[in-house]
Structure 1
C-alpha cells in the first residue's frame, strides 16, 4: 500500500486529504502540532499521528530519521499560517511564517528525499497560494513566504529529478471559515469567475491528477475558480 505524509493534516484541507486518501487505501502519517476531534474519529491501523513542534528542528530531524528507511510515496506540505500582519512587519511573526512555509518544507524535502526516491512514483506537493503571485497587502508576510515556498517547489523539482516529482497547488478561496461574515463571502464570490464555494474536493482531484500524470514536475496548478485573474 502507498504511504503519504501530510503536514497539518488534522484540520480543514489537511484533514480532508487524510480522510480521502485513507478511503483509497493509503497509509497516512499526519505530522501536526496537535490532533483534533475530527482526526481522532478517523481511527485506523493505516493512520499514524505524529505530534511535534514545527519550530524544533531537532525534533523534525529525529522524526525523519525514524522513517528514512521506508519508502515514502507522497509528501504533502499543507501546514500553514494565514495571518494578517497588520502592517507591523513583526520580526517574530515573519520568523514563524518563514519557518512553517519554507524552513519546515525544505527540511522535510531534504531529509526524506531518499525515502521518496525508493518509491516507484515519489511525489512532493506544496500547497502554496494564488497570493504568491498577486499578493494581498494586508497579508504581506504570509504572501511573501508562500511565494518563497513556490520557489522552493521549483528548486526541489530540479534537485530531485528524475527520481521524485515536485509540484505545487495554488488554492484560492475554497471553503469559508466559520467567522467569515456574509458580506465577506459575497465579496469573495464576486471576485471569482466561478462564483460558488467549491469546498476541498477540487484540491483532492488535483492531487490525484499529479499522482497519475508521471510527466508533470516543476509546475504550479491554480485551483481558484478563476479568482487569480478576476481580483485586482
Structure 2
C-alpha cells in the first residue's frame, strides 16, 4: 500500500502528549520542546508539584497548553487513575513518552531485593503499565506514538549498575515486542541516551570511577537534556513515520553499533 505524501515538518500542532517524569531533567526538556512544537502536554510527576507547576506556567507563558498530574507510574492503580484523568482533561492521547526513571550506583553483592524491585518497578514496569493503559484508546483512534527512554548502559552494561542496566535492557526488548505487535497503527520506538547532565546523573554524587566512565566517550562531555529532547521530537513527528522498533542513540559516541 502506498504511503501518503510525507510532511517535512516537526510540528505537533493538534496533538496531545503525556510525558512521565516530566518535572525535571530529560522529561522536562521533552515536555517543553513538545509544547514549543504545538502539542498540548500532560506533565506526569511524583512528589514534584512545585517543579511541575513552574513548567506548566512556563508553557502557558509561551502560549501553549499543559497540565500537571501526579501519579506513581510504577503502581497499577495510579496509572489507571492517570489514564482516566488524561481522558477527561484532553479527550485522548496521541503521544506517550515513558521517561520516568531512577538510577543507583551500588555493588551487586550489596544490592537488596528491595533495590531491585524499586529499580525495575520505576524503570521497566512503569513502561508496561502505561503502555497497557493508553494503547487501547490509541488503537481505537487508529494512531499514536510511544517513545520509551532507555539508556546506552542497556547496551554496554556497567559494574555496580546491574538493576538499572537490566531494567533499561528490558525497556528495549519491550519496545521491540510492542512495535511488532501494534504496527502499523501505533509507532513505537526507543531512545538510548548516553550520559546526560541531569540531577539523576550528577557527577558530584558519583564515584570517581563512574565519573571517568561517563566522560570517557568520543565527545568528552555530558549531553544537555535538550539534545535528547530533539530526538524525541523527531520520533513524535511525522518525519519518523517509517521508524518501527528502533533504538536511537544520542550518546556522544558511547555506543557505535
TM-score when normalising by structure 2: 0.80
User: Please, which of 177, 180, 203 is the counterpart of residue 180 of structure 1?
Assistant: 203
Name the CA distance, whole Å, in 2 between partners of 1:78 and 1:176. 13
Q: How does 1:82-121 map to 2 (within 5 A)?
A: 82-87=103-108, 88-117=110-139
Aligned residues: 230
1:1-232 paired onto structure 2 within 5 Å: 1-42=14-55, 43=57, 44=60, 46-68=65-87, 70-87=91-108, 88-117=110-139, 122-175=144-197, 177=199, 179-181=202-204, 187-188=212-213, 190-210=215-235, 211=237, 212-229=239-256
Q: Deviations over 1:133-174 (max 9, x none)?
A: 111111111111111111001111012111101000000012
Moved over 4 A (4+): 118-121, 176-179, 181-186
Gaps of 5+ in 2: 1-13
Length-normalised TM-score, structure 1: 0.88
CA distance 1:93–1:116, shift in 2 (3 Å): same
Q: Secondary structure at the match of 2:203?
A: coil
Query: CA contact under 8 A between 1:71 and 1:118: conserved in structure 2?
Result: no
Report the Cα distance in structure 2 between the residues aligned to 1:76 and 1:174, rounded to whole angstroms: 17
Deviations 1:38-86 (A, max 9, x none): 4322323711111123343112113223445833111111100111233
User: Unaligned stretches of 5+ in structure 1?
Assistant: none
SS in 1 for 2:224: coil
Alignment partners' CA distance in 1, 2:45 and 2:70: 5
RMSD between superposed Cα atoms in Å: 2.5
CA contact (8 A) 1:172 1:224 kept: yes
Deviation at 1:36, TM superposition (A): 4.9
